[in-house]
Amino acid sequence: MADVLKLKCSVCDREYGPNEVEYTCPVCGDVGTLDVLYDYEHLRATLERDTPRSERSMWRYRDLLPIKPETVVPPLRVGGTPLFQSARLAADLGLREAWLKDDGANPTGSLKDRASALIVARALEAGIDTVSTASTGNAAAALSGVGASVQSGKMRIIIFVPASAPEAKIAQLLVYGAEVILVEGTYDQAFDLCKDVCLEQGWYCRNTGMNPYTSEGKKTVAYEIAEGLGWNVPDVVAVGVGDGNIIAGVYKGFYDLYQLGWIQRIPRLIGVQALGSSPLVSAWEQVLSATDMQPVEVDTIADSISAGLPRDRSRALKAVRQTNGAFIAVPDDEIIAAIPTLARLTGVFCEPSCAAVYAGVRRAVQLGMIRSDERVAFLLTGNGLKDIKRAQQSVSGGLRVAPNLDSVRRALQLEVS
């Protein structure tokens, strides 16, 4: 077990004991999201990087996660997702190497299974039987699915989701048996409502960023990228960004490995936002602090990266600034076009939020933010079946034929040999 040494505010740098505060910094409020820090000196002395591990899930790195050795974890196999190289994608973008981390292969179809698995494990460890979250869909599905897998059958999952979320995502929550509250409002309003009810009722709140342990689950994707590349990390990792918690988790994972001496450097992080929901791009360009950021109106088809005021904005900005990375915005039409382009180049069918990563890398290459001699990892966070409506918008065609061979020949312009 990685014993938590302290919790550190990402805004004011105040430090707290691991049991002193549950969610965000009491001084800075919601913007003061917390980093979970460990006794790295002790971990360096007790852990070996290349120790054989048979587990092919995120629990492969259990020694670097904040749960007790005896804690029973949810049985769904989360993590251990495919990492593979795509020469065609690299050639298309003019890169030395392109690597794809396909986290849409997780049980409920998104990277957010990682966070939910750890949150549910911690709830079980503490004897808590009700966990709640606000979500545009993926975090809710992840919590619903992981919660349903708990063998005691006593885990109550309550979800707050904007009523405008894609129907397929809402259906997934109901299939898993979660109690679903459809909020006639924005994601940000659903987030605040969930937070208030959790604090009132004493439920464990999984809300992204607010709960410091969500990124501790998500950081395992960085561990897998590093190990999958023989601990020789890529030059750049590109990540779709909404609330900022995933890119914060990716940074935290590489930071842990760097502190342990298992990697020699932390990759540059490129955060990609939809142009209609790009407050972090604006803050990065204007050199604003997280506390100076103000809510913006959002308008994007990429619901998974839609956030008017990112909840983990402080750590997201730090992740990019401390790695000499960048934030970049891409319009919805480029995101939609990227869905079939990425699929045809790689075989990976992505929802808009991670198709945006392809569009963002293309733009970053054009702007000189990424060089042609660099190795780039694309973090693909959600399966395309999450939002089939947008996939349908991205393609057209189909050859209608009569049920006979001549009709097929004419449609395909085939010659008879």
- 215-259 residue pLDDT tens: 999 999 999 999 999 999 999 999 999 999 999 999 999 999 999
Out of 52-56, 63-67, 104-108, 201-205, least confident range = 52-56
Asked whether the predicted pLDDT for residue 417 surpasses 80, the reply is no
Of 396 and 337, the structure prediction assigns the larger pLDDT to: 337
Q: Looking at residue 187, what is its pLDDT? A: 84
Among the listed residues 368, 307, 348, 320, the one whose alpha carbon sits nearest the alpha carbon of residue 358: 348
Q: What is the pLDDT of residue 9?
A: 98
pLDDT exceeds cutoff 90 at 152: no
Q: Which of 28-32, 58-62, 199-203, 391-395 has the least mean pLDDT? A: 391-395
What is the set of domains in the chain, with CATH numbers? 83-106+214-394 (3.40.50.1100)
Helix (H, G, I), strand (E, B) or coil at 249: helix
- The secondary structure element, H or E, covering residue 182 is strand 179-183
Asked if 359 and 337 count as a contact pair (C-beta separation under 8 A), the reply is: yes
The DSSP element (H or E) to which 328 belongs, if any, is strand 326-330
Res 167: pLDDT: 84
Which amino acid belongs to residue 21?
Answer: V
**Three-state secondary structure call for residue 385:** helix
Helix spans in 3-137 (H): 40-46, 87-93, 113-126
Residue length, the chain? Answer: 417
The alpha-helical segments, DSSP class H, found in 265-331 are 279-285, 313-322
pLDDT in the model for residue 106: 97
Mean pLDDT, residues 401-416 taken together: 92
Per-residue pLDDT, 53: 84
Burial class (CB in 10 A: 0-12, 13-18, 19+), 20: exposed
Q: Are 184 and 213 in contact (CB under 8 A)?
A: no
pLDDT value for 125? 93
For 288, phi and psi rounded to 5 degrees? -90, 155
Closest alpha carbon to 202 in 274, 139, 127: 127
What does the pLDDT look like over 284-316, one tens digit per residue? 999 999 999 999 999 999 988 998 999 999 999
In terms of DSSP bridges, do strands 204-205 and 130-134 run parallel, antiparallel, or are they unpaired?
parallel
Question: What mean pLDDT is reported for the chain?
Answer: 94
pTM of the predicted protein model = 0.95
CA distances from 46 to 2, 43, 51, 106, 216 (A): 11, 5, 11, 30, 20
* 143-174 b/e (C-beta count within 10 Å ≥ 16 → b): bbbbbbbbeeeebebbbbbbeebbebbbebbe
Instruction: Give pLDDT tens digits for 314-371.
Output: 999 999 999 999 999 999 999 999 999 999 999 999 999 999 999 999 999 999 999 9
Enter the tokens of residue 283. 């803050």
Instruction: Report DSSP state, residue 213.
Output: T
Q: How much is the pLDDT for 73?
A: 95
- Per-residue pLDDT at 3 exceeds 90: no
Q: In which region does residue 88 sit, left (phi positive, over 0), alpha (psi from -120 to 50) or beta (all else)?
A: alpha
pLDDT at position 13 over 90: yes
Number of Cβ within a 10 Å radius of residue 394: 18
| pLDDT reported for residue 1 | 58
CA angle 330, 332, 334 (to 5 degrees): 65
CA distances to 263, 266, 269, 272, 365 from 325, rounded to whole Å, are: 18, 11, 5, 11, 13
The 10s digit of each residue's pLDDT in 14-55 is: 999 998 999 999 999 999 999 999 999 999 999 999 988 888
Residues 51-70: tens digit of each pLDDT: 888 889 999 999 999 999 99
Rounded CA gap, 359 and 333, in Å? 10
- pLDDT of 209 reads 86
